[in-house]
């Protein structure tokens, strides 16, 4: 993953670590397999 995407993912997880990978993928505009 790109550095920017990783940073954005970490920020989202800090906000709510109980989000599903599907929800995170939607917020980050990437596919679900990219997150998992």
DSSP per position, 1-36:
--HHHHHHHHHHHHH-TT--HHHHHHHHTS-HHHH-
Mean pLDDT estimate for the chain: 94
Classify residue 27 by its DSSP letter: H
Q: Where are the domains of the chain?
A: 3-35
Is the pTM here over 0.85, yes or no?
no
The residues, any chain, with a CB within 8 Å of residue 27's CB and separated by 6 or more, are 12, 19
Q: Is the pLDDT of residue 1 over 70?
A: no
Residues in the chain: 36
pLDDT for 12-24, tens place per residue?
A: 999 999 999 999 9
Q: Work out the pLDDT band at 4, boundaries 50, 70, 90.
A: very high
pLDDT band at 36 (very low <50, low <70, confident <90, very high): confident
With 90 as the cut, is the pLDDT of residue 32 above it?
A: yes
């Amino acid at each position: 993953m790109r550095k920017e995407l990783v940073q954005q993912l970490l920020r989202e997880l800090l906000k709510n670590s109980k989000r599903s990978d599907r929800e995170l993928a939607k917020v980050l505009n990437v596919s679900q397999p990219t997150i998992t």
